[in-house]
Structure 1
């Protein structure tokens, strides 16, 4: 089996994942099919940022959104308004918010996943009737958070801070996808999965596909992928563990056994 693992996560987070895997002796290649571009704020987005102190909470969907939000806030608020509660879909987004704005963020409970569905299970987002919430995100994406929170009675305003630009895989990676010349493909975004399926030949569709949620595994099945494997989350540690388990089940079993022995000592 070819040794290379194809990664699709863009930017610094993709580099962190690559380093984690390479530290385990796994060769990786970044497909680089997605890049982020900042967008000019709309009039409604500028108005929302000027009224930032009137919101009860700010929901941030990705590390990229957190970085762009911090830059936008700095243009309007020399000092962050007091009393804002931040929500993040996962630990990486929460860490970015803390690094950029110095604020803590509410995240889904450990083990519940790192996506919109998991964040909606947070207790304080179940009682939002009459509250004004700001959703920081890209130009396009899933509408689940906005729709569910509005169903719960919240006044939700969206600020689009960036756009995604998708590119074809460059040679020779396009041929690898066509022929299935890789050991595993790692995808943490439904949009990337839908973008890549165009280039995947029959063999590639049946190579191991590592995804970060059951939702993505379901989508993968509808797109024709025959071997999805669901990691316990979207973090580099969770993805690395699942990749290692798929590529070397015996080693993963041995590691687990050693871990259990260590706990019993």
Structure 2
């Protein structure tokens, strides 16, 4: 088992950074495609929001891909960004995209709070919105907590779905790893992906280390039957790689061997 790989399934170009961070700690890495991110065609609602973008007081972005879609749209409509807008990101990776593409300062959850909607909502500047116009840039579906809370706090909310998530069945090699439990750890940062992959996980796989990025995901993992969730300090490549390194591979060997004997 010592030579078995760490499995990752992060969609999009961010998978490469995660693989590199884990590999830098001496682990083999295998990437499985479990989800595709697809930008949605521009709607009349989106176009109206882009044209009136200068009227928003706060812009909240939930994911790196949402940030990329937002930046691409603003590049078409606003060669020079309007001033007086505060930008917020659920996680550091999203903030990085906004800063890189738009050159803006971005508010993120407090250090140690995790990359979650709940942590972002803990910021004092989002406590009272007093009829301020708020844009929430997100994907289709997803958790409603962020938008509902911003509206409850007095924000005049516009929620735009900029992309869709499409689940993919794992290929034969990745499905084989999940069926046998022949891997060092599985890294998942999306509840949707976790529920999807659980369908292919054998009893042996459920006893292997599962690295997740929040306590919410760890709770979901428990309901799905995963026995060894490990909560990383966040969803960045560095924090996830650190959690992989801190997981106990020798214990995984014992669990797997006991299952084979049983």
Contact 2:37 2:164 in 1 (8 A): yes
Stretch deviating more after TM superposition (39-48 or 212-221): 39-48
Q: In structure 2, what is the equivalent of residue 225 of structure 1?
A: 226
For the 8 Å contact 1:88–1:94, the answer to whether it is kept is yes
Counterpart position of 1:187:
188
Say if 2:93 is the partner of 1:92.
yes
CA apart distance, 1:128 = 1.1
Verify the 8 A CA contact 1:45 1:158 in the aligned structure 2. Answer: no
The residue number in structure 2 matching 1:158 is 159
SS in 2 for 1:172: helix
SS, match of residue 11 in structure 1:
coil
Who is 1:57 aligned against?
Answer: 58
Give the Cα–Cα distance (whole angstroms) in 2 for the partners of residues 201 and 248 of structure 1: 18
Question: Which secondary structure state, in structure 2, belongs to the residue aligned with residue 192 of structure 1?
Answer: helix
State the shift of 1:247 in Å: 4.0
Alignment partners' CA distance in 1, 2:238 and 2:36: 23
Instruction: For structure 2, list consecutive stretches of 5 or more residues without a partner in the other structure.
Output: 251-262
CA contact (8 A) 2:7 2:30 kept: yes
What is the CA-CA distance between 1:11 and the residue it aligns to? 2.3
Contact 2:39 2:162 in 1 (8 A): yes
Q: Which residue of 2 aligns with 1:175?
A: 176
Who is 1:213 aligned against? 214
Task: Give SS of 1:237's match.
Answer: helix
Residue 129 in 1 paired to residue 130 in 2? yes
- Which residue of structure 2 lines up, in the alignment, with residue 82 of structure 1? 83
Secondary structure of 1:69 counterpart: helix
Is the Cα–Cα contact under 8 Å of residues 6 and 31 in structure 1 kept in the other structure?
yes
Report the alpha carbon displacement of residue 12 of structure 1 after superposing the two structures with TM.
2.5
Q: Which residue of 1 aligns with 2:197?
A: 196
Any gaps of 5 or more consecutive residues in structure 1? 250-265
The residue number in structure 1 matching 2:253 is none
Deviation at 1:248, TM superposition (A): 5.5
Give the secondary structure class of the aligned counterpart of 1:182. Answer: coil
TM-score (norm 1): 0.91
Show structure 1 runs of 4+ deviating over 3 A.
Answer: none
- Say if 2:184 and 2:249, in contact at 8 Å, map to a contact too: no
Task: State the 1:76 CA deviation.
Answer: 1.5
The structural deviation recorded for 1:36 is 1.0
Pairwise CA RMSD: 1.4
